[in-house]
Amino acid sequence: MKYIFKLGFLFGLLFYSSAFTKATSSQEPIIQLNQGKAHERIGEDLMILIDETNQLTFDQIQSANYQEKFTRSKDEVPSLGLKNVTVWLKINIELLDSINTPYVLEIAFPTLDSICFFSQIFGSSEWMRMFSGDRIPFADRIIDHKNFVFPLHLNYGNKTTVYFKIRNKGSIILPLKIMPKQDLLAAGLKEEIVYGIFYGIMIVMFLYNLFLAFAARSLSYIFYVGIIAGNLLTLSALNGHAFQYVWYDNPWWANHVIVFGIGLWILSGNLFAVRFLESKKYSIAYHRIFQGMQLLGLLIILSAFVVDYKISLLIANYILSVNCVLLFISGIFFWVKNVKVARIFTLAWVMYLMGVLLYTLRNLGYLPVNFITTHVLELGAVSEVILLSISLGYKYRLLEVDKKKAQKNVLDIMTRSQELIQNQNEELELRIEERTLELKQKQDEVLQQNEELNAKNDKLIEAQSIIEQQNIMLRKYNDDLEHQVTTRTDDLQQSNQELAQNVQQLEQYAFMTAHNLRAPVARLLGLTNLLELNPDTEKVEWLMILSKIKDESYSLDAVIKDMNSIIELRKGSEIEIEWVNIEEKVNQVKRILKNTILVNGVKIQLDTRAFSEFKCNPTYTESIFYNLISNAIKYRAPGENSFIHIITEKTEDQFIIHIKDNGVGINLQKHGAQLFGMYKRFHTHVEGKGLGLFLVKSQMDILNGEIKIESEPGLGTTFSLFFPARF
Blockwise average pLDDT, block size 10, the chain, 727 residues = 39 39 56 78 88 90 90 85 86 80 87 89 81 86 87 83 89 87 78 80 78 74 80 83 82 86 87 78 84 90 87 84 80 75 65 70 64 65 65 58 62 71 76 77 75 75 78 77 75 69 51 52 70 68 72 59 53 73 90 85 91 89 88 83 92 92 82 61 54 80 89 88 83
- For every residue of 341-384, DSSP letters joined together read THHHHHHHHHHHHHHHHHHHHHHTTSS--SHHHHHHHHHHHHHH
What's the CATH number of domain 499-566, 1.20.120, 1.10.357, 3.30.420, 1.10.287? 1.10.287
- The dihedral built from the CA positions of residue 659, 663, 668 and 674, taken in this order, carries a sign that is negative
Domain spanning 16-187, CATH architecture = Sandwich (2.60)
Within 8 A by CB and 6+ apart from 375, the residues are 194
Collapsed DSSP state (helix, strand, coil) of residue 528:
helix
Collapsed DSSP state (helix, strand, coil) of residue 425:
helix
Cβ burial 258-296 (10 Å sphere, 16+ → b, else e)? bbbbbbbbbbbbbbbbbbbbebeeebeebbebbeebbeb
Whole-number Cα distances in Å, 547 to 383, 480, 559: 51, 74, 19
Collapsed DSSP state (helix, strand, coil) of residue 635:
coil
Q: How is the beta sheet containing 706-712 ordered, strand by strand?
A: 603-607, 643-650, 654-661, 716-724, 706-712
Task: Dump strand ranges (E) for 112-248.
Answer: 114-120, 127-132, 148-152, 159-167, 172-173, 176-180
- CA dihedral defined by 467, 470, 472, 477, rounded to 10 degrees? -140
- Domain 572-724 CATH superfamily: Histidine kinase-like ATPase, C-terminal domain (3.30.565.10)
Closest CA to 333 of 297, 393, 284: 284
| Distance, CA of 601 to CA of 503 (rounded, Å) | 44
**What is the SS3 assignment for 670-704?**
HHHHHCCCCCCCCCCCCCCCCCHHHHHHHHHHHCC
Structural domain spans, the chain = 16-187, 191-395, 499-566, 572-724
| Distance, CA of 437 to CA of 107 (rounded, Å) | 104
> Residue 701 has what pLDDT?
86
- CA dihedral defined by 303, 307, 310, 314, rounded to 10 degrees? -40
| Distance, CA of 52 to CA of 59 (rounded, Å) | 17
Tens digits of residue pLDDT in 19-44: 333 334 446 888 888 876 777 778 88
> Residue 78 has what pLDDT?
87
> Residue 404 has what pLDDT?
62
580 neighbors 586 (Cβ within 8 angstroms):
no
Element housing 390 (H / E)? helix 371-533
- Burial of residue 208 (CB within 10 Å: 0-12, 13-18, 19+) is middle
User: Maximum Cα–Cα distance for the chain, whole Å?
Assistant: 135
Cβ burial 376-399 (10 Å sphere, 16+ → b, else e)? bbbbbbbbbbebbbebbeebbeee
What length is written for the chain? Answer: 727
The letter for the amino acid at 354 is M
User: Interior CA angle at 250 toward 245 and 256, to 5°?
Assistant: 100
β-sheet bridge partners, residue 94: 32, 159
